[in-house]
A and B are shown apart, each in its own frame.
Chain A
Amino acid sequence: MAPMDKYAKQLYDALVNLIINLHLQKGSLTREEMYCLLNVVDMALVDKEDQGLVQVLREWQAGEPNQEIDEIIKVTLLNLDFAKPASLAAGVETICELIRYNKELGEAGTTQEPPQSE
């Protein structure tokens, strides 16, 4: 485990504090949402093995918003077991498919039934 760069650590600490506050003080994050975001922060900034999750999330953010698909991705993320690589890999695959489907929808300009999330 390589120590983090000083500025990355400051950013990391600030993000973790913000997430905790949003749960404990503001009540705007549920316990599951807090855990999920904390895990994502750890993966993005601490070089933890993420099975490609961070990259997939970047692609998701860069794509067109779609309320229904975004909701499915969120549920998928909340149900991930971040400690298990197999669960993580399956979640990444599902999210990839949802992003691809959303992209296809955008290109076709039609509304189709989204693929089933695991």
Chain B
Amino acid sequence: MAMLEMEPQAHLIDLESERRVLSSMLHSEEACIEACNSLQPRDFYSPQHATVFELVRSLYEREVRPTYVELVKEAHTLGMLTSIRDAEELRYIAEHYIYDGNIGFWVKKVRDRSRLRSFEAFIRKSYQLLQEETDRDVEQVLMAAEEELTNLTALEIDDHVDSPEEMARMGYEEVERRFLRYREIKEKHKGVIPLDGLPTGFYNLDKITLGYKPGDLIILGAQTGHGKTSFALHTADAVAVKGDHNVLYLNTEMSRQQIALRWGSILSGIEHERVRSGEINESELSQILRGYNDLMQSGFYSYPCPNLTPEKTISIARKFKAQKNIDMMIVDYIGRMDKQDPRLQEWQVLEQIVKTQKMLAQNLQIAVMCLVQLNPDGSLQGAKRMKNECDLMLKLSPLSKDDLETNPDLQKYDVTPNYEIYVDKNRDGQSGIRIPVYFDLARQTMKDPKRVSV
């Protein structure tokens, strides 16, 4: 217990910065807004400073200009200014005048110290736990610690407001980049559009999306048994095996062996059932070996985890971003994640998960693909909310016999498409488009059927 009650290290306390922030809040509205947006009372080490911050914030929220006088009146009315000693501290704060333009610097100093103190307390608590000789479940202890640490490093969406100059500059640079790219397409690539992001593995989807971009959240919905995992591995194949990027693949359903066997079939083009049963000849075995050799050289990292939680995805993604510099994470699939709060409805849990994944994609600047299960009627629970959060929403579904018979367009391919990808939402381009694909169920592979002239 003694460990927990210890004072934090001296360099983790910065009373000067705390006073400067408070003084600045009494002096300028800009500073007040910045501090109120970025700090909480708990960020101040001195309890007195925390109280002063709360008083100033409360005045500001009540639309009372928080001057030194108003602070004194408020503190006196609430009985917090009864002795000359109390007055001394207020005087000391008021005298810590800073130039308002520097408020961001001082606010950051206060917040950084506060976060480090929380980290120190976490380490102390963890150490204290190790000192106690109780028979604890190691997995539980480590999971709880991981969760606490994840909360400490909670991802914050950058709430930077663009000035008119920044917005104009960014807009011009973006248009100029596209202009140069268009010229390059015409002159060098003979009309083939280069991708902005990672390849999707489908020519037409690449054309519409220009690839999966850093910060994108991609949702792919499909019914049970209709190719979610095949789509995920097809994507991983395009990005990490055929491409030279690193992908983290989280699977909540399949074992390591099952995933490894799938690759055998995908990379060799031999029926999955035969690979699984071992009913292959020696030449096919060599073919499979060559396939696994490609996998060995690739950037595909697999993490099967049946008890996946949103917090765990954050910590795993951060770890792999730091260690392997992943460009994409695929979560197969989010309906199977553990519920943290049993009172929540299924769609509420999905909404929470999707929000977390979007933040993760933006903060780590990676593409995150989440696979979700569609209802038997092709609809998606909580679809509206998910659609709001994601950048690209795709639905994979089989083409009906009717479609195949009545749509003559589907006959104009080298192989008759049997599935389609419906682009339900595309933040950066066209949506409402149906892309026919061929899903080889036996080999668990997908491909673009090629147009042929009839």
**A: which residues have CB within 8 A of B?**
1, 3-4, 6, 9, 12-13, 16-17, 20-21, 24-25, 31, 34-35, 38-39, 41-42, 46, 48, 83
Contacts and interface: CB of A to CB of B under 8 A. Distances in A.
B91 A13 contact: yes
18 contacts: A3-B100, A6-B97, A16-B69, A16-B72, A17-B94, A20-B90, A21-B84, A24-B82, A24-B83, A24-B87, A25-B84, A35-B73, A42-B67, A42-B69, A46-B67, A46-B69, A48-B65, A83-B64
Given A13-B95, A38-B73, A41-B69, A4 B87 contact: no
Contact of B27 (A3, A20, A25): A3
A39 B28 contact: no
Contacts of B83: 24
A13 B94 CA distance: 7
Contacts of A41: 69
B70 interface: yes
Contacts of A3: 27-28, 100
Contact of A39 (B68, B69, B94): B69
Contacts of B27: 3-4, 9
A35 B76 CA distance: 10
Nearest to B95: A13
Contact of A17 (B64, B87, B97): B87
Interface in B60-89: 64-65, 67-70, 72-73, 76, 81-84, 87
A10 to B, nearest CB: 8
B29 interface: yes
Nearest to A23: B76
Interface in B13-30: 27-29
Contacts of A16: 68-69, 72, 94
Contacts of B90: 20
Contacts of A31: 76
Nearest to B65: A1
Contacts, number: 51
Secondary structure dominating the interface of A: helix
Contacts of B95: 13
A20 B150 CA distance: 46
Contacts of B70: 42
Contacts of B68: 12-13, 16
Interface string B341-354: 00000000000000
A1 B29 contact: yes
Given A24-B83, A34-B76, A46-B65, 15 more contacts: A1-B29, A3-B28, A3-B100, A4-B27, A12-B68, A13-B94, A20-B87, A20-B91, A21-B84, A21-B87, A24-B87, A35-B73, A38-B72, A38-B73, A42-B69
Contacts of B69: 16, 38-39, 41-42, 46
Give the interface centre of B72, B91, B94, B95 by most chain A CB atoms within 10 Å. B72
A20 B75 CA distance: 12
A65 to B, nearest CB: 27
Interface in B208-265: none
A32 to B, nearest CB: 12
A12 B95 CA distance: 11
B92 to A, nearest CB: 10
A24 B84 CA distance: 6
B200 to A, nearest CB: 53
Nearest to A40: B69
A48 B28 CA distance: 14
A31 B76 CA distance: 9
Contacts of A6: 97
Contacts of B87: 17, 20-21, 24
A49 B384 CA distance: 49
A9 B97 contact: yes
A20 B29 CA distance: 24
